[in-house]
Homo-oligomer: A and B are copies of this chain.
Amino acid sequence: MTEGPTINTIARRAGVSIASVSRVLNGLPTREETVRRVLSAAEELGYVPNSVARSLKNRRTNQVAFAMADIGNPVYLAMVREIQPVLRAAGYRLLLHSTDADVADELDVLRGLGERYVDGLIMSPLRVTDEHLRALAAARAPVVVIGSVPEETGVDNVRADSRTGVRLALDHLYGLGRRRIAFVNGPPDTVPGAARAAAYREALDALGLPYDENLVEVGDFYRAEGATAVRALLDRAADVDALMCANDLIALGALDVLRRAGRRVPEDVAVVGMDDTYLAGVAWPALTSVSLGSERRGRAAAELLLDRLENGQRQARVVTVEPRLAVRASTAGVRDGTDDVPGAGEGTEGEESP
């Protein structure tokens, strides 16, 4: 932990100027002899360039941040797992911010861009307030938002398509003969909550099914709240034959409650989750789930950001990822849960640890 060698140390040892050292280390044309001297001096001293000094001069840090509510959520996790390798391949390090969906925290992150500790930011806010939009407009570095943001904001934007997603699920359930399809949502003041609620109504309309508010329950995007909501739902509308859950965690809670209530899945009640996280494959019965393409969204966001970092003046772009329905035992009546790997071939599954 002694003070490391700098370009100066090398220059002295090699008997050249620091400019020459820098040139050699950056591969600029230099006389053979000088190159040798510098390289061997650097080698002997175990020189490693100081990235902070380099960043100061170059005005780029080769760091990018990803800000999301909570990395414990499998959706964000899936994104990180895609974002990381893309950035890494391009020579960027990844910084993580967990904001707990706290608006003030998110704004802090945005303002923090002024500190220039990263070259860009990928952010996936649960709620998008006016303050967010203002902060985005004032951001001192390129930002890519995962989640819908008005076009005028002029920010690169990666979107899911809950509308089509919910539609896929309801069509599927309808095709299975289900007519009392309930909807268990998270907070409707969140971006995904609002989108999915609207999508549910629309899909019912399209199928010619009536909207019955007894079939709608609002909770939060967690397992425990999902369970609570489904309990209430069963009390209120005993004849439900299908549950559309606004994410996989809610669906997991639903499975627990249904099991306890003695309802068979899928025979009595079919269950569909959303996000198609790897939890869908772990659950039993394995969960049919609408993939909103977290992996693809993560990758797209990373690529948009990289592109923007090379071409700052480009017009803002909006990428929308197509949803897919992954059918598994919780609706299909297949015997067990290993038929389809969740994440739709985008590679999940964890590795071990000490």
Enumerate chain A interface residues (CB-CB to B < 8 A).
1, 4, 46, 48-53, 55-56, 61, 63, 68-77, 80-81, 84-85, 88, 93-98, 100-101, 111-112, 114-117, 124-126, 138-142, 146-148, 160, 186, 190-192, 220-224, 227, 246-247, 249, 252, 255-256, 259-260, 275, 279, 282-284, 294, 312, 336-338, 348-354
Contacts and interface: CB of A to CB of B under 8 A. Distances in A.
Interface centre among A115, A142, A220, A252 (most CB of B within 10 A): A115
Contacts of A227: 338
A51 B351 contact: no
Given A50-B116, A96-B95, A282-B279, A352 B126 contact: yes
Nearest to A283: B282
Contacts of A77: 71-72, 77, 350
21 contacts: A1-B140, A1-B141, A1-B312, A48-B114, A50-B56, A50-B115, A52-B56, A70-B81, A70-B351, A73-B350, A88-B98, A93-B97, A95-B95, A126-B354, A192-B353, A222-B350, A247-B353, A256-B336, A256-B337, A275-B353, A282-B282
Given A72-B77, A256-B338, A259-B336, A49 B115 contact: yes
A353 B69 contact: yes
A142 B100 CA distance: 29
Nearest to A111: B48
Contacts of A249: 349-350, 352
A249 B353 CA distance: 11
Contact of A93 (B117, B221, B352): B117
Contact of A354 (B88, B138, B191, B348): B191
Given A223-B349, A283-B284, 16 more contacts: A52-B55, A52-B56, A52-B116, A72-B349, A73-B351, A77-B350, A84-B96, A93-B95, A93-B97, A96-B96, A126-B353, A222-B350, A224-B349, A227-B338, A256-B336, A275-B353
Contacts of A100: 351
8 A-B pairs with least C-beta separation: A221-B352, A48-B114, A147-B354, A73-B350, A75-B353, A284-B284, A51-B115, A72-B350
Nearest to A112: B48
A72 B81 contact: yes
Contacts of A49: 115
A354 B81 contact: no
Given A77-B71, A81-B71, A256-B338, A96 B98 contact: no
A197 to B, nearest CB: 13
Nearest to A66: B96
Contacts of A96: 80, 84, 94-96
Contact of A84 (B53, B98, B124, B252): B98
B68 A353 contact: yes
Contacts of A125: 354
A351 B69 contact: yes
Contacts of A252: 282
